[in-house]
Structure formats: C-alpha cells, structure tokens
Structure 1
Amino acid sequence: MILALAKSYHFQALLPEKDMMKFSRLFQNADGHVGILDVRQVNSRGWKNYTADELMLEQESCDKGPLYYHLKRQLVIDGSCLPVDRSHPNVFIPKLNIKIYAIERHRKFIRKTLKFSDYLQEQAERVLNNLRKSADTVFVGVHVRRGDYIKFRNEKYGDDLLNATFYLQAMDWYRENYPGSIFLVASDDMSWCSDNLMQDPPGIYLKDVHLVGGKSSELDLAILSNCNHSIVDYGTFSFWAAYLAGGEAIVSGDHKGPTRTAAGWLGWYKGVPSRSGIPLI
C-alpha cells in the first residue's frame, strides 16, 4: 500500500525500523524502494498527518478522474479543486489499511517489486516442486485465518469464522474447473485444518490437499503467493497472498474485510460460484 501511494504521488516510501525489518525479511529488494522512518521527526515541521483517503483526495481533486469521484462519495466533499498543499513535503499515515483503488493502478509495479528473498523463494519452490506432478500442475493456495480472529470477528463484525464447508466447496469448484489441482493449506491453526479439511466426507481422505503451513508466516506467504490460484478468507494476509499469486480467487461473500472489498475491483468470486453463477455460500 505504501509503495502504491509513493509511486502515485512521487513520495519516498518510509517505514518505522521495526516494520522495515519485517519487510526486509520478506522481500529481497526492499531497501531499494522503502527507507527507514525516524519516528522522532514526525512531529517536526514539514510533516502532516493524513488518512490514505485524505492524501489521495488532495492529490486527485483537480484531476476529476474515476478515483476522485470514488473518494468524493467516500468522504462527502463539496467537489471543489483543492490546491495541493506543499507546506508539508513529508506525509505521515499512522494507520494504513488496504485501499485497493490505490494499489490496483500499480499492480504490475508492485508484483514486479515485491520479490521474496532468495531463501523464502527457494523454500517455497521446494514445497511446490516436491508436490508437482507435471509441468502443467495447477496449485491452489488455501489460507485459513483463525487464532486471534475468533474474538476479533465477533467484536468488530458480529459474525463467526468460516466453517469447513466454505473451503471444501471452493476446492470442489477448482477440481471441476482445473482438473488435477493440488491444494496447499497454510494457517495459524494447522490442527483445525488437519481435523476439518483433509476428509470429505468424513472417512474419505483427500489426496490432493496438503498441509504446508505453520513453519513461519513469511514462508506461508511465499508458498501461497507462488500458487496459481487462491482460496482466502478475510484479512490482509489473505489479500496479499492472493494478490501476489494472481490467477483466480474465491473469497467469502458473507464476511466483511479487505478480501471482500477487493473482490469487486479484482474480479474475485464473492462466495463459491455454482453452475448457475449464483454463489453457493
């Protein structure tokens, strides 16, 4: 997200040192595109706090393109052209959520730039190659978020976590549309996946489903992103796994979150498609 905003408006992308360390562990060329933010400078002259939408609105207000009109509806403004305020050459966005309308315009740049570290890429490729049946094997990454999300989903959205039916029906859709698909499952609760996603119906083991996650979140993301297609649930981790993978993606149609918001922009399926085109879930 920060790369997309910096690319759009000619800023230098910066991250606090702790976040930059995480970013560098993931991506091999991080230092060439993102610098380290000294948070002690943020309150000095030349800095201004924004939300991502406020920054985009200021920069887009005189352009009157599609993004401007989307932001206008979001923020309820009078429609006047706002001169870009250059008194604050440095911009601080304290909380940066995914804004798919900012990211998508730079999709090629982002996917080209965010290359996993050599170690993560080698480990991810090893997992896929060990399971690959032929050069045409189709891999489908399956991300299952549970753990701390049980309480979070209930408190923020008033709903429960997805049950096994969503994932199993999504797998069936890929089996029908991409025969011979192999499903790679990563989660913060691999025990739940072992108990719920390896048999369908109970007692019939699924030989095309493999539990590959759990060693580290960084490796999980690399494995999922190296797949051809995706089955994902709600959060930002799921979004980035599917976004970097490309291909088709099935997300929950009933659960609010970054993946469902992005689905309309990216052509992802909101729910498992049926033969009639109406989602099963």
Structure 2
Amino acid sequence: MLPKKEKKDQILLQKSKFFLEEVNELKFSDSPWPIPPTKIYASIDELDKNEKYIMSNFSYSPGLGNLMFQYASLRSFAEDHNANLILPSNTLLRRAFGNFDNKVIFLRPQAIDQYLIKNQKLAKVYNECCKFYSNISLFFEKQSIEILNGYFQSFKYFNDKKEFILKQFKFLPLINDRAHKGLEDAKFKLWDEELNRDPEEQGNDVVVKLPDMFDSEYYFVGIHVRHGLDITMHSRNIRHGHTFASIDFYQNAINYFIKEYHWRKLIFVVAGDDLKWAKKVFSQFFKEKFLYVESGQREIDLATLRLCNATILSTGTFSWWNAYLTNGPTVYYSGWPRLGSELDKLVTKSDYFLPSWISL
C-alpha cells in the first residue's frame, strides 16, 4: 500500500549533529569526518623568503559561500603569478574540502592578524563585493607578500580556470559519501513507491530488479532556500539591500523546469535555512516530488545539492556556489539586490551571474 500523499512526496534526510573544536589544529570533537592533518606554519618567519605569497583578511564574512569566493579568486591570482596563497589554519574551508594543493599555505590566524595590522598601509582593498576589477596588479614592487582584501565575488576572476577550481572544492570523503547515500536512498524509496513494492520485502543486500520498461532515471533539480531570520528580520541587511526570493519566483522556477523538462522524471531537492516555510510553499505542487535535505550541516547540504542536474538559485553566495558546482541549467532570482539600495550600487550583475544562467 502506498503511504499517504503528504508522506509520499516529502522525503527527509535525517540530521546528525557534530561540534567544532579548535585545539592545536582544527578538528571535530564528535564527527564522522575528521579534518585531514596538514602542515601549519606558526609565523611568517618560517616561510620561504624566495617564494611569493598572497595574503588576505578572511574574516570579512565567515559564511561558506563568501569564503569560497575569496579562495577561488585569490587562488586564481596566485596561479597567475606562481605564488602561494596563505590561509588561516582555522578556516572553515578545511571543514568542507580536502583537496588543497601544495601552493596553499596554512598559517596560524594570530600570525596573519599581526602581519595584516602591521602592514595595513600596504594592503590593496577592493570593497565592492560583486564587481570584477580588471586592473589588479600584483608583485610589481618585488615584495614577497601581497595583501589583497575584498570579497572578490565575481566568476570572472576564476572562470577561465574552472576545472582547476572545481578540483580544489572536493568535499571530504565522508561528507561526499553521506550526500551520495542520501540521494541513492531517496531513489530506491521512489522506485518502491512507483512500483508499489514493500521495501521490507526487498531486503538490504539484494540486487534491485526493475521492469524492462521502467524509467529508473530521475532528473534532480536542487533548490537552496534562503528565508531565515538573517534575511527576513535583520533590519541592517534589509536596509542594505538584501532580499529573499519571493514565492512567485519559486513557483515560476519550478514551473519552468516542469515545462522545459516535461519528459523527465523530476525530483526537487530542497535545502536551506527555513525548510518549514519551504514545505508550506512547495506543498501546492501536488504532483511533484520533493526531497528535503535535513542534514543540519551546510557542508552536507552543499554536497547534496552539487549532485543534482540543475539548480534553482535563490539569493546569497551559498546558493550561487550550489549552481556553480552543479554546472547544469540554472535559473536565479532577479530581484536581488533591492533596486536602488546601497548593495545594488556594489553589484554588477553581469560580473556576478554567469551569462548562461536564466533570470526569473
């Protein structure tokens, strides 16, 4: 017997909690994925004086999407100049990714802070968050360390090295495994529902046998919903120009994929900061199936969304990287930032959104 409709179309990936603990190096005190050990320098004096380095203030904004933009852009600059990129050893990037190459140097955050304060007059600062600066010149004065501060949130800084950057953002194995398992388990459950099979009768270790004419392939559309208090109730963010995607946008975006991919078996994979709101909004699509990723961890959310075929991009850099890592058809919310706001003056949309992405 099929489950009730509301349970049939809403599949949950369960939450697992872990906590971050910093000792001599970043690690988890209660985690299924330990952070890989790496060499950490204690001071600037330990660095090779014959090498070139790029340093930045990575405390501009600690969000994972913001850090990924900073890393991708600065790593691209370093590659262009045969330089090393210095990262604070406690960066949250290490919590998600584990494929940093040998041109990435980890330095104690205290040493970075001291150097940045001492040499703040030498820093090159680019305050407009989402604009491509085409005239950034580095290492012309033969200094060994170049300080670059800014958000650098434009694909134009690194898109010419896309494959190289994507390899840098390789998720830690257990994060990746959990994301794959979540979608695989959901797929098997959907097969059982479509074929009216009892999963208990199938067993755990049997080969799944499907009818010859059964279409077993699903087309996953990732949706990152940003509707939490930081964007809906935070007065400073609202005044600055941050917006959240409207209900109309989600309706139009979902209908776009239903129309354009009507021959595919669509599954909408939803992650975000307000899934209760998302479930209420998406419940109107009675015929569609939604998978809600309730991992409780942004790294697993992003790793799961990356496995999708296409993306519905709401707002924010986390959602942006969901689309970029997925590298498939993408529609995005055109109402960000709020027209005429301070943030609107800092954003050049043609520098921020890829030309192949569709504005709705």
- In the superposition, the TM-score normalised over structure 1's length comes to 0.75
> Residue 165 and residue 45 in structure 1: after superposition, are their counterparts in 2 closer, same or farther (change >3 A)?
closer
Name the counterpart of 1:235.
Answer: 316
Matched, 1:198 2:279: no
CA gap of 1:97–1:71, structure 2 versus 1, over 3 A, is closer
Give secondary structure in 2 for the equivalent of 1:142: strand
Amino acid in the other structure paired with 1:226: L
Q: 1:83, CA displacement in angstroms?
A: 8.9
How far is the alpha carbon of 1:171 from its aligned partner?
A: 1.3
| Aligned counterpart, 1:278 | none
Which of 93, 113, 133 is the aligned partner of 1:23? 93
Q: Which residue of 1 aligns with 2:176?
A: 121
Q: Which residue of 2 aligns with 1:5?
A: 77
Give 3-state SS (helix, strand or coil) of 2:122's partner: strand
Per-residue CA deviation, residues 64-115 of structure 1 (Å, 9 max, x unaligned), is: xxx8xx736xx9xxxxxx7952332212233323121112111111112211
Letter in 2 for 1:29: N
Q: Report whether the alignment pairs 1:174 with 2:263.
A: no
Q: Which has the larger radius of gyration?
A: 2
Superposed counterparts of 1:231-270, under 5 Å:
231-256=312-337, 260-261=349-350, 264-270=353-359
Question: Which runs of 5 or more structure 1 residues have no equivalent in the other structure?
Answer: 55-66, 76-81, 272-281
Q: Does the 8 A contact of 1:53 with 1:71 survive in 2?
A: no
Question: Which residue of 2 is the match for residue 63 of structure 1?
Answer: none
- Give the number of the structure whose residues are more often helix, by fraction: 1
1:51 to 125, 129, 140: 125
Hey, which bits of structure 1, 4+ residues long, moved more than 4 A? 43-47, 257-264
Letter matched to residue 143 of structure 1: H
Q: Which amino acid is the alignment partner of residue 114 of structure 1?
A: F
1:54-133 correspondence to structure 2 within 5 Å: 71=134, 85-132=140-187
Structure 2 residue corresponding to 1:34, chosen from 99, 104, 111: 104
> What is the distance in 1 between the residues matched to 2:182 and 2:348?
25
Q: Secondary structure at the match of 1:94?
A: strand
Check whether the contact 2:313–2:319 (CA below 8 A) recurs between aligned residues: yes
CA-to-partner distance for each residue in 1:30-82, whole Å, 9 max, x for gaps?
3645322331233457993123599xxxxxxxxxxxx8xx736xx9xxxxxx7
Number of residue pairs matched by the alignment:
242
3-state SS of paired residue (2:245): coil
Question: Is the aligned partner of 1:221 residue 2:276?
Answer: no
Q: Could you list the runs of 5+ residues in structure 2 that have no partner in the other structure?
A: 1-71, 192-214, 338-343
2:244 pairs with one of 161, 185, 188: 161
Q: Which amino acid aligns with 1:211?
A: Y
**Taking structure 1 as reference, are residues 24 and 191 closer, same or farther at Cα in structure 2, changes over 3 Å only?**
same
The structural deviation recorded for 1:231 is 0.4
Maintained 8 Å contact 1:226/1:245: yes
1:5-31 CA distances to partner (integer Å, 9 max, x unpaired)? 222232211222332xx1112112236
TM-score by length of 2: 0.60
Q: Identity over the aligned pairs, expressed in percent?
A: 24
Question: What amino acid does structure 2 have at the position aligned with 1:36?
Answer: F
1:189 partnered with 2:271: no
Q: Is the Cα contact below 8 Å between 1:51 and 1:96 reproduced in 2?
A: no
